[in-house]
Amino acid sequence: MTNYVALEDVAQINPRPRKCIDEMQEVSFLPMASVSANGFVAFEEKRILKEVKKGFTPFRRGDFIIAKITPCFENGKAALTCNLENEIGYGSTEFHVVRPDEDKLDRKYLYYLLWNKQFRFFGKKEMRGAAGQKRITTDYLKGYKIPLPPLEEQKRIAAILDKADAVRRKRQQAIDLTDQLLRSVFLDMFGDPVTNPKSLEVVKMSDIGQIITGNTPSRKSPEYYGSNIEWIKSGNINTPYHYLTQAEECLSEQGAQVGRTVPRNSILVTCIAGSKDCIGNIAIADREVAFNQQINAIVPNEKILTLFLYAQLAFNKKLVQKASTKSMKGMVSKSKFSDIEVLLPPIKDQKKYADCFLKALSKIEAMKMAMNNCNNLFNSLTQQAFKGELIKQAKAA
């Protein structure tokens, strides 16, 4: 029978940094944006230790880091730091650090324990803090119970999950390449919207559509919540998908009347977030929806095509992020959002790009269906692994 232990019994949670004599040495630095929701470090920056030793999260090469703030935690931002160029690392204050005791806990096994849907599902329920600032606490991580088979069995489990994960990553790479192609075509046709090298017409967002900020119907009136219309939150936007994901909560007919709704083909943008990296995340509504106050939406008018505007904002998040407040909690107000300037090329050129986007989108959606099948298989294997069933099946085979 598998033994269960508290995570703090086999790992250090947010360990203190070593004392370093050379404050001018180079260290690796990981902002939140550098950690992918697909579970790896996408890039690292170089900093001088003296610049980051105060006010940032310390870690060492090989530690596991995981986002603690919403929605980055729910989105799966976590990674092992085994491939950093420097032994010493620092990063966003919104990371938790877990350093396994190598005599008791395999680091790859730890990775799969904490980077999976089940952990995020239960962790989300234990988050603390105000809306938009909820976090996984250190105490929750310390007390989290994990299955702890013998070390050799942990390594065998991790090896099996590695193989399944490799298939998923290949699928994701194909999707990413298609997205990169769409970005390249956009830049080739229209140039960078920030520098506008083709001298295209520039307009404010308020000139090309109706701007609407979402809201939250009073929780004191339960009759506002029901099953009439989906109520979108930033978690439905901050995903790899071009379209909104299914909302967990819905409003009633009464709730829809006091809420804010937008029609199909509107564009929803995350404009309030605990992490600035989430500001500017974007998705298209393929049905009528309601949405909360962390989101600004635009209902495009006849001057601009939805797919063209979506691509312009999606491939250039800095257009929105530049309008954000400079505080720790990023925010783009309705007025600031309305004043964001975007390119407005001739409608025939917009249509040409939109047609290209649609063709690529059909391929992307097919690849994402295959990716979902891989995800379901991986999640099933993960659950079997941590119940002790995966090794039994492998031995029986």
DSSP-assigned states of every residue in 136-192: --HHHHHH-EEE---HHHHHHHHHHHHHHHHHHHHHHHHHHHHHHHHHHHHHHHH--
Pairing of strands 341-343, 267-270: unpaired
Mean of the pLDDT values across residues 244-252? 95
Say how many C-beta atoms besides its own lie within 10 A of residue 321's C-beta.
15
Q: Residue 393: pLDDT above 60?
A: no
pLDDT value of residue 326: 75
Residue-wise pLDDT for 377-388, tens only, equals: 888 888 887 776
Q: Residue 45: pLDDT above 60?
A: yes
Phi, psi of 60 (to 5 degrees): -120, 155
pLDDT value of residue 31: 94
For residues 273 and 294, is the Cβ–Cβ distance under 8 A? yes
pLDDT value of residue 274: 76
Mean of the pLDDT values across residues 370-380? 83
For residues 32 and 92, is the Cβ–Cβ distance under 8 A? yes
pLDDT value of residue 328: 63
Integer Cα distance of 351 and 362 in angstroms: 17
Q: Residue 397: pLDDT above 50?
A: no
pLDDT value of residue 174: 86
Band of the pLDDT at 390, cuts 50, 70, 90? low
Integer Cα distance of 70 and 111 in angstroms: 20
Task: Return the percentage of the chain with pLDDT > 70, whole number.
Answer: 96
pLDDT value of residue 243: 92
Q: Residue 18: pLDDT above 90?
A: no
Task: Return the percentage of the chain with pLDDT > 90, whole number.
Answer: 74
Band of the pLDDT at 362, cuts 50, 70, 90? confident
Higher pLDDT, 182 or 378: 182
Mean of the pLDDT values across residues 109-126? 93
